[in-house]
Amino acid sequence: MSVRTAISSAIKSVFRGLGIRVERYNLATSQELRLARMLAYHGVDLVLDVGASTGGYGRNLRTAGYRGKLLSFEPLRTAHAELVRRTAADSAWAVAPPMAIGDRDCRSLMNVAGNSDSSSLLAMLATHSAAAPDSRYVTAEDVAVARLDGIRHPFIEEASTPFLKVDTQGYEAHVIAGAAGVLPTLCGVQVEMSLEPLYEGQSLWRDLMNDLESRGFRLWSLVPGFFDKESGRLLQCDGIFFRPRDHE
């Protein structure tokens, strides 16, 4: 064993003892790098970030090397204000006014979760709250809801190869339905999919996959997400879909 390998093993051992896993930052270990590679491969020049929260998804893309435009949507006031603050210095990252994206233009009450990230326009089921007690709803907030295909923004008008990311806690099918007018222009979609019902009335992974495939998209990658810590059962994952190119 070389000195370099021995030092690397010792460092990993120390961090494992602290419950931290240390790995090389490359395509084999980083989902963000793989996603950035997918976006580059397909020539994506705009990411529509629906359900942006405080901008973690976009920041991960920036760290992984994506330099194209981002347009983020977030309905909750506190998260939206933080999102605006964090993106202020990035001229290629715009934030829409506070709004949820759905299948109709209206106002609605959004359930606000204790952990914020699990907030949804739908009621939460016991399967979700039991697996993540900190996700239980603590209040509700009146929000604007808009169809994506009704949004007008220079980034959308200028984009040649846009990509849609949807993280809306059970409301994904509504977002896709409200994007009917722009879906034909998209090269790809990343959508959070539940394997088990977590929100009342939500569509599950099979229906979402069938819907996107019927619109010309093909499953490109899966990213494990939320799981039950007691059983280890996977409850949510992200499906990444792209339109096949001529040679694929």
The per-residue pLDDT for range 183-197, each reduced to its tens digit, is 999 999 999 999 999
Residue 51 belongs to a domain:
yes
- Binned at pLDDT 50, 70 and 90, residue 18 comes out as low
Answer yes or no: is 19 within a domain: no
CA angle 198, 151, 209 (to 5 degrees): 35
> Is 4 inside a domain boundary?
no
Domain-located, residue 10: no
The SS3 assignment for 114 reads coil
C-alpha span between 177 and 179 (Å, rounded) = 5
Arithmetic mean of pLDDT, 70-83: 98
Mean pLDDT of the chain: 92
Residue 3 lies in a domain: no
Structural domain span for residue 67: 27-242
From 113, 122, 129, 128, select the one nearest 78 (Cα to Cα): 113
Contacts of 212 (CB under 8 A, 6+ apart): 176, 189, 191, 239, 241
Count CB-CB contacts under 10 A for residue 84: 17
Residue 169 inside a domain? The answer is yes
Query: CB neighbours (10 Å) of residue 228?
Result: 15
- Does residue 207 belong to any structural domain of this protein? yes
Confidence check: pLDDT of 6 > 60:
no
* DSSP result, 21-78: -----STTT-HHHHHHHHHHHTT--EEEEES-TTTHHHHHHHHHT--SEEEEE--SHH
Q: Please give the share of the chain, as a percent, with pLDDT higher than 70.
A: 88
Q: Average the pLDDT over 191-216 and give the result.
A: 98
Q: Which of 41-45, 113-117, 201-205, 233-237 has the lowest mean pLDDT?
A: 113-117
30 versus 227: the higher-pLDDT residue is 227
Q: Write down the pLDDT at residue 21.
A: 55
Q: Provide the 3-class DSSP secondary structure of residue 223.
A: strand
pLDDT at 28 over 70: no
Cβ contacts of 121 within 8 Å, gap of 6 or more? 100, 102, 108, 109, 110, 111, 145, 168, 170, 171, 174
* Whole-number pLDDT of residue 11: 46
Tens-place pLDDT, residues 94-148: 999 999 999 999 999 999 999 988 999 999 999 999 999 999 999 999 999 999 9
If pLDDT is split at 50, 70 and 90, which confidence band does 8 have?
A: very low
Reduced to 3 states (helix: H, G, I; strand: E, B; else coil), residue 207 is helix
Residue 205 has pLDDT above 80, yes or no: yes
Instruction: Give a yes or no: residue 191 inside a domain.
Output: yes
pLDDT score for 246? 73
Residues 54-64: pLDDT tens digits?
999 999 999 99
- CATH number of the CATH domain containing 64: 3.40.50.150
Q: For 69, list phi and psi in degrees, rounded to 5.
A: -85, 150
Say yes or no to pLDDT of 19 above 80. Answer: no
Number of structural domains found in the chain: 1
Q: Which residue has the higher pLDDT, 17 or 102?
A: 102
User: What does the alpha-carbon distance between residue 226 and residue 128 come to, in Å, rounded to a whole number?
Assistant: 9
